[in-house]
Copies of this chain bind each other. A is one copy, B any other.
Amino acid sequence: MTRGHLDVIKRGARLFDTLVVAVAINIEKKPLFPTEERIAMLRETVRAEKIDNVEITTFSGMAVDFVREQGSHVLLRGIRTLSDWENEFQMALTNRALDTGIETVFVMASLEYSYISSRLIREVATLGGDISNFVPPAVEKRLRKQYK
């Protein structure tokens, strides 16, 4: 989770009554941190930022099915301006083909986080650089431990 993700969570929490942040469990991909750790980082950060109307959970399977199960029909995605909007559009259109009743809604991350990419953060962390501008404290301390 980067400061860009946090910014999108904040915006989403202002737009909707309840925002469910769901971490995808993907057996094939190997994320840097295990799922429980990722959930913990999200929880710590949301608490530190005093965002009340956010639920943090996991899901496996297809995103559209998860949205349905939550009784919702809106899938919120943050879009960085310097970045993967093309991927986002492909994913949104694939999800629309899978379930036309689910609407993907985009908000723009703050400009100051628009260039932050997980790959570059990881590279900076590996090289011992200062990543406090890029990730919230709950992530920074874990990344530091990981790469020490």
> Which positions in A face B, CB cutoff 8 Å?
11, 14-15, 28, 60-62, 73-74, 79, 81-83, 85-86, 89-94, 96-98, 103-108, 111-112, 114-117, 120, 124, 126-130, 133-134
- Which residues of chain B are near A117, meaning CB under 8 Å? 90, 94
- Which residues of chain B are near A120, meaning CB under 8 Å? 90-91, 94
B124 A98 Cβ-Cβ under 8 A: yes
Main DSSP-derived SS at the A contact region: mixed
- CB proximity of A89 to chain B, nearest CB, Å: 5
Given contacts A81-B82, A111-B93, A111-B111, contact A105 B15 (CB under 8 A): yes
Other-chain contact of A14, B79, B92, B103, B112 (Cβ < 8 Å)? B103
Kindly report how many copies of this chain are found in the complex they form together. Answer: 6
Given contacts A82-B90, A112-B111, A120-B91, contact A106 B105 (CB under 8 A): yes
Chain B: CB-nearest residue to A133: B97
Given contacts A82-B81, A130-B98, contact A89 B106 (CB under 8 A): no
Interchain residue pairs with CB less than 8 A apart (14):
A11-B103, A60-B127, A62-B128, A81-B81, A81-B82, A81-B89, A82-B90, A94-B120, A94-B124, A96-B108, A104-B107, A105-B107, A111-B115, A112-B112
Chain B: CB-nearest residue to A117: B90
Other-chain contact of A93, B62, B91, B103, B115 (Cβ < 8 Å)? B115
